[in-house]
């Protein structure tokens, strides 16, 4: 897939069949905007699609492959944390370009659907019952940005630890020592990797303040709430590491309401580099996760597993990179 240069709000509006003003308000999670969820979905999908230019689907030479796509995220959850929508869109684009039919499946899918799929791409947080169901399905499966340590499934992951290290390096190199964290919990009782690395790094430097670590859901709503909790304390940080870009949107809104200028009064860095990140004002510095490559590698690995079963499960880790924009100031 070939990278497209600088998609604009007008480009997104044309594909989504809405006004540029609607695109701007959707990407900024404007809660006062009264549009159907289907409209919001079209805008987010158009934004992700414009990140890459398709060279066109390949001409069919052989029988079309049929892959299952098992996601634990509902359409509503995708709109709250657009990362998972972006992964689904990337899967659909890659499938179109490579003559693969995608069937959305889950544990309630009918036998006639399950019988025709050759393998499964899996996205989300899976319970033991899900893993057992996949094993009993008897089809090769690859987990996308998810890893189950005790199961015989291959996985392709983003190096979240490295991404967090790069985010912290960026803040520290810009002179910030008073750093807050806004994040969430994926698995009850377990700290997310981003929080673990953040706390380890600042604890080693004797800079960690527990009261500056705020946790909630990975949504704009909780980003807004947690940022206000953090920044209305008597002592507050000069910079905040935000665990995903959806939360960052809420942080931007809260900063505006508190009269805080980004980056003059507070520096922010996100994680994911969703399409909306560059449209925030100022544009968000964030950690770019190569979703298109993640999907390409996962699908290639699934094809290989279908053609010839792997003797051992494979774990592939892909490094993210820092995208510097305008939301961090040097002090």
**Full pLDDT tens readout for the chain, 331 residues:** 444 456 788 888 888 888 888 888 887 767 677 778 788 778 888 887 776 444 444 444 556 899 999 999 888 888 888 889 999 999 999 998 999 999 999 999 999 999 999 999 999 988 889 999 999 999 999 999 988 776 789 999 999 999 999 999 999 999 999 999 999 988 788 899 999 999 999 999 999 999 999 999 999 999 999 999 999 999 999 999 999 999 999 999 999 999 999 999 999 999 999 888 999 999 999 999 999 999 999 999 999 999 999 999 999 999 999 999 999 999 9
Give the C-alpha separation, 240 to 238, whole Å. 7
- Given a contact cutoff of 8 angstroms between Cβ atoms, the answer to whether 44 and 82 are in contact is yes
pLDDT attached to residue 55: 43
Asked whether residue 42 falls in the same domain as residue 87, the answer is: no
Asked whether residue 90 falls in the same domain as residue 70, the answer is: yes
pLDDT attached to residue 54: 42
Long-range contacts of 24-28 (CB under 8 A, 24+ apart): 24/279, 27/249, 27/275, 27/276, 27/279, 28/249, 28/252, 28/253, 28/276, 28/279, 28/280
Q: How far is CA 245 from CA 104, 139, 170, 314, 322, in A?
A: 26, 34, 17, 29, 13
Give the C-alpha separation, 175 to 172, whole Å. 5
Q: Residue 50 sits in which domain range? A: 9-61
Is residue 185 situated within a structural domain?
Answer: yes
Asked whether residue 53 falls in the same domain as residue 77, the answer is: no
CATH assignment at residue 35? 1.10.260
pLDDT attached to residue 125: 86
Asked whether residue 180 falls in the same domain as residue 127, the answer is: no
Asked whether residue 98 falls in the same domain as residue 145, the answer is: yes
Q: What is the DSSP string of 100-146?
A: EEEEE--TT--HHHHHH--EEEEES---HHHHHHHHHHTS-EEEES-
Asked whether residue 173 falls in the same domain as residue 270, the answer is: yes
Is residue 253 situated within a structural domain?
Answer: yes
pLDDT attached to residue 11: 86
Is residue 331 situated within a structural domain?
Answer: no
Structure tokens at 140: 């090769």
Quick one: which of 322, 274, 293 has its CA closest to 157? 293
Total of domains in the chain: 3
Asked whether residue 271 falls in the same domain as residue 215, the answer is: yes
φ and ψ of 249, to 5 deg:
-60, -45
Asked whether residue 220 falls in the same domain as residue 264, the answer is: yes
φ and ψ of 305, to 5 deg:
-70, -30
Q: Go through 282-307 and write b for each residue having 16 or more CB atoms within 10 A of its CB, e for each that does not.
A: eebbbbbbbbbebbbbbbebbbbbee
pTM of the complete model: 0.83
Is residue 4 situated within a structural domain?
Answer: no
pLDDT attached to residue 20: 84
Is residue 2 situated within a structural domain?
Answer: no
Last residue of a domain, one of 44, 61, 78: 61
Residue with structure tokens 């999908």? 45
Question: What one-character DSSP code corresponds to residue 283?
Answer: P
Is residue 327 situated within a structural domain?
Answer: no
Torsion (CA) 15, 20, 25, 28 in degrees, nearest 10: 70
Asked whether residue 13 falls in the same domain as residue 89, the answer is: no
CATH assignment at residue 226? 3.40.50.2300
Asked whether residue 180 falls in the same domain as residue 241, the answer is: yes
Asked whether residue 180 falls in the same domain as residue 276, the answer is: yes
Quick one: which of 162, 71, 166, 81 has its CA closest to 122? 71
Is residue 260 situated within a structural domain?
Answer: yes
pLDDT attached to residue 33: 76
Asked whether residue 154 falls in the same domain as residue 296, the answer is: yes
Burial class for 271, CB neighbours closer than 10 Å (0-12, 13-18, 19+): buried
Is residue 198 situated within a structural domain?
Answer: yes
pLDDT attached to residue 231: 98
């Amino acid at each position: 897939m070939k990278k497209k240069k600088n998609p604009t709000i007008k480009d997104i509006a044309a594909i989504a069949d809405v006004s540029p003003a609607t695109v701007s308000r959707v990407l900024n999670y404007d809660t006062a905007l009264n549009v159907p969820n289907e409209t919001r979905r079209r805008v987010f999908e158009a934004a992700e699609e414009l990140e890459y230019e398709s060279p066109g689907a390949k001409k069919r030479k052989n029988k079309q492959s049929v892959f299952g796509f098992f996601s634990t995220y509902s359409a509503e959850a995708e709109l709250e944390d657009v990362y998972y929508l972006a992964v689904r869109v990337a899967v659909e684009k890659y499938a179109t370009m490579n003559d693969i039919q995608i069937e959305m499946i889950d544990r309630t899918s009918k036998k006639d659907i399950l019988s025709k799929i050759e393998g499964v791409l899996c996205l989300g947080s899976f319970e033991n019952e899900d893993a057992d169901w996949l094993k009993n399905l008897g089809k090769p499966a690859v987990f996308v940005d998810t890893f189950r340590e005790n199961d015989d499934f291959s996985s392709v992951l983003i190096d979240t630890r490295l991404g967090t290290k790069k985010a912290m390096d960026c803040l520290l190199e810009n002179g910030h020592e008073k750093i807050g964290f806004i994040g969430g919990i994926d698995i009850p009782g377990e700290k997310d990797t981003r929080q673990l690395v953040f706390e380890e790094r600042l604890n080693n430097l004797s800079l960690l303040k527990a009261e500056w670590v705020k946790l909630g859901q990975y949504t704009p709503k909780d980003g807004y709430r947690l940022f206000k909790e953090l920044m209305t304390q008597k002592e507050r940080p000069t910079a905040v590491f935000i665990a995903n870009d959806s939360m960052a949107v809420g942080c931007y809104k809260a900063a505006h309401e508190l009269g805080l200028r980004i980056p003059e009064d507070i520096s922010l860095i996100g994680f994911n580099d969703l399409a909306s990140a560059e449209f925030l004002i100022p544009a968000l510095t964030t950690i770019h996760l190569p979703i298109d490559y993640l999907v390409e590698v996962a699908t290639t690995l699934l094809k290989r597993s279908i053609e010839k079963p792997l003797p051992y499960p494979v774990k592939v880790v892909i490094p993210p990179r820092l995208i510097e924009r305008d939301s961090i100031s040097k002090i």
